[in-house]
Amino acid sequence: MSANDPIADISLLPDIVEMQVKVFEADTPIGSANIRALDPPMCVAIATFTPSSGYEAKRHANEIDGEYVADRSDILRIFLPDGSELRSHAILILDFPTLDEIELHIVGIYEPSFEELFSAHPDYRAYFDLDLTDEQRADKQRMLQSKMRSRLAKEWTILGTIVVAISAAIVILA
- What local confidence, expressed as pLDDT, does residue 21 receive? 97
On the CB side of 36, CA atoms within 13 Å amount to 8
> Across residues 116-123, what is the average pLDDT?
89
Q: Cα–Cα distance between 57 and 104 in angstroms, integer?
A: 12
Alpha-carbon distance of 99 to 104, in angstroms, equals 15
Q: Distance between CA atoms of 161 and 127, rounded to whole angstroms?
A: 38
The model's confidence at residue 133, banded by pLDDT at 50, 70 and 90, is confident
Global confidence as pTM: 0.69
- pLDDT over 60 (residue 6): no
Half-sphere exposure for 12 (CA within 13 Å, toward CB):
7
**Would you say residue 15 has pLDDT above 60?**
no
pLDDT tens digit sequence for 20-29: 999 999 999 9
CA distance 63 to 68: 4
Q: What's CA 48's distance to the chain center, in Å?
A: 13
pLDDT surpasses 70 at 16: no
pLDDT given for residue 174 in this prediction: 77
Q: Is the model more confident about 143 or about 99? A: 99
Report residue 88's pLDDT band, with 50, 70 and 90 as the boundaries.
very high
